Amino acid sequence: MPTPDPWLVRSRSASEPRLRLFCVPCAGRGAALYRGWPEFSGSEMELCAIQLPGRESRLREAPFIRMSDAVERAAEALEPQLDLPYVLFGHSMGAILCFELARLLRSRYGVGPIHLFVSARRAPQFADPQPPLHLLRDARFIAEINRRYNGLPREVLANTELMELLLPMLRADVQMIETYAYEPGLPLDCPITAFGGVEDSGLRIEDLEGWRAHTNSRFETKLFLGDHFFVQSAPKEVLEAISRSLNLANDFGSHRGFGR
């Protein structure tokens, strides 16, 4: 029996998938963010959530504090999975990680994604208008995370032991995104779709439109009912939008070896 890959949580094992959808979570979350997605992912798509160190099944591992390190290691982990056309979906922090991952996989292995979906995150060339959080003391750090993103459930906040486990990983993730420095490069050849929540007060439509600069192909934006975590409140609608984009794009033929 093959050794399980700690980087991938395969939520759906299609018998003959046509493509793989790699999903990267937001700060402070793990692969479980996409636990409800397989029900809506269809029969031709293998859904693979990326499990970063420091959370869930990898809780004992040190989390990354630099985006470049996370991207480097994720690229190494995904290289054996590039035998099929692949799609990248990243939510919030995960959007930046997926963007840099797409650029690295293209330059290093010569095969980019057939589509990049970025969710709930401003384009990388735009500076964060809010002051950084990762150096704040615990109480204020937690309060600010909750104020900006409404991202910590009450039951988690009320559980002291759980918060002690969660805080180092959450702080490391926030440090990773707040210290990320965008470097200009060649636009991607694949389409990019930018998703947002209509009730996400920290994100403007202009922030999403900025992703247009990073593709030589088609670009579109799509808004969903919900706040910063619409991927949890509207998974069916998000997967339907992904499927529609892929079905209309006729992107599969651009991948090495596909259709032979």
- CA distances to 67, 69, 201, 212 from 75, rounded to whole Å, are 12, 10, 32, 24
Q: Which residues are catalytic?
A: 92
What is the Cα–Cα distance from 85 to 82, expressed in whole angstroms? Answer: 7
Q: Are strands 8-10 and 45-50 parallel, antiparallel or unpaired?
A: antiparallel
Order of all β-strands in the sheet with 19-24: 8-10, 45-50, 19-24, 86-91, 115-119, 192-197, 219-224
HSE (side-chain half, CA atoms, 13 Å) at 102: 32
DSSP 8-state class, residue 94? H
What is the Cα–Cα distance from 4 to 237, expressed in whole angstroms? Answer: 31
Instruction: Judge contact between 240 and 248, C-beta under 8 A.
Output: no
Task: Give the CA diameter of the chain.
Answer: 57
42: alpha, beta or left, given left = phi > 0 and alpha = psi -120 to 50? left
Closest CA to 114 of 214, 252, 257, 258: 252
Q: Are strands 115-119 and 219-224 parallel, antiparallel or unpaired?
A: unpaired
Q: Are strands 192-197 and 8-10 parallel, antiparallel or unpaired?
A: unpaired
Tokens of 182: 């965008």
Residue found under tokens 């160190």: 53
